[in-house]
Amino acid sequence: MTSFAINQGYQQQLFSQPMVVAPSVENEISADVIEQLNDLIMAQYEMSLFERRIFIAIIEQISNNLLEVGGMKVVPEIVLDARQIIAASGLKGESAFVELQKATTNLIKHVCKITETDGLLQVSLLSSAKYMKGKGQIKLRIDANLHPYLLKLKNQFSIYSLEKLILFKSYYSQCLYELFRKLPKQNGTIMISIEQLRKILRIGESEYERYFDFKRYIIQQAQKELAIHDTSFDFKEKKQGKKVIALQFIFK
C-alpha cells in the first residue's frame, strides 16, 4: 500500500511560487527544500498509467464546493467515461477493463497521511468506485477530508501540465521534469549533488548503486524523454578525484 504525507505547516510554500531559493553551484539544497520537493513530486505520481489517468480526471472534475447531504458535507460524485480512459491508454479488449478495475482498487488502497494542526489524518485517495453496467461509466467518490488538498493541486497545476507527466515512460523522468520546473535556475543551470538527487528521487541505497547505472537508467533516460519539453537539458559531471559527486544541468 502506497502513501504520501503533507505537513500542513508548509502547505502554502508547497503550493505557491516561488518554491525554493535558487542554490548556488557551491551550496547544497537544504533538507527542508528536499522534503518539500519530496512531497510535491513523489506524492502525486507514484502510480500506474491507469491510476494517473484516473487521478488527473479527478483533479479536472473536482468541484470547488461541497454538497450537504443528510447534514454531512460530501464531495459531488465524479463520473468518468471508462472507454475514453482505455482508448487514451492504447489498450483494447477485456484485459483493459481488468487493468482499469485494478487501478481503481489501488487508488482506494492508496492512503494519504496528512499532518494537520490538530492531528494526523489518514484518508484513502479514492473512497469508492462503481462500474455502471452497460454504460461504460465509473462513478467515483472522494472523502470530504481530502477535498481541500485536491483543490490545491488543481490550482497549482494546469491539466495540460499533468497530462504531460503521464506521457513519460520513466517514473524518474516525471519526477525530474517537475523538479526542473520548480527549482529556480542560475544562468540557465542547476547544480545538484548525486546524494541529493538520490534523496529527492527517493532511490534506496541498494538501487542503482553504480553511478554508470544511475546515469544510464535515470539521467540519460530523462534527457531523452525531456528533449521535446520545456525542460530539455544537457549535463556536466562534477568529480572529486575519479568519483562523480554532482551534476550540473544545463537547460536549452
State how far the Cα of 175 lies from the Cα of 131, in Å rounded to an integer. 32
Q: What is the pLDDT of residues 144-158, one digit of tens each?
A: 998 988 887 777 666
Bond from prior residue into 148 cis (ω within 30 degrees of 0): no
Residues 53 and 131 both lie in one domain: yes
Mean pLDDT in residue range 162-179: 73
Q: What is the pLDDT of residues 33-58, one digit of tens each?
A: 555 555 544 444 456 778 878 888 88
**pLDDT of amino acid 38:** 53
Residues 129 and 102 both lie in one domain: yes
Domain end call among 99, 132, 163: 163
pLDDT at 16 over 90: no
Q: What is the pLDDT of residues 203-230, one digit of tens each?
A: 888 899 999 999 999 999 999 989 988 8
Residues 32 and 108 both lie in one domain: no
Highest mean predicted confidence (pLDDT) among 32-46, 157-171, 173-187, 235-249: 235-249
Residues 153 and 183 both lie in one domain: no
pTM of the shown model: 0.54
Pick 182 or 196 by higher pLDDT: 196
Contact assessment for residue 59 and residue 159, using Cβ atoms and an 8 Å cutoff = yes
Q: What is the pLDDT of residues 95-125, one digit of tens each?
A: 888 888 999 999 999 887 777 788 888 888 8
Residues 199 and 215 both lie in one domain: yes
86: CATH: 1.10.10.10
Residues 147 and 213 both lie in one domain: no
Domain end call among 163, 190, 206: 163
Residues 59 and 146 both lie in one domain: yes
Q: Is 232 helix (H, G, I), strand (E, B) or coil?
A: coil
Cβ-count burial 193-222 (b if 16+ within 10 Å, e if not): bbebbbbbbebeeeebeeeeebbeebbebb
Residues 214 and 190 both lie in one domain: yes
Residues 199 and 149 both lie in one domain: no
The domain of 226 spans 3-45+168-251
**DSSP characters over 40-92:** IIIHHH-S-HHHHHHHHHHHHH--SS-EEETTEEEPPPEEEEHHHHHHHTT--
Domain end call among 145, 163, 181: 163
Domain count within the chain: 2
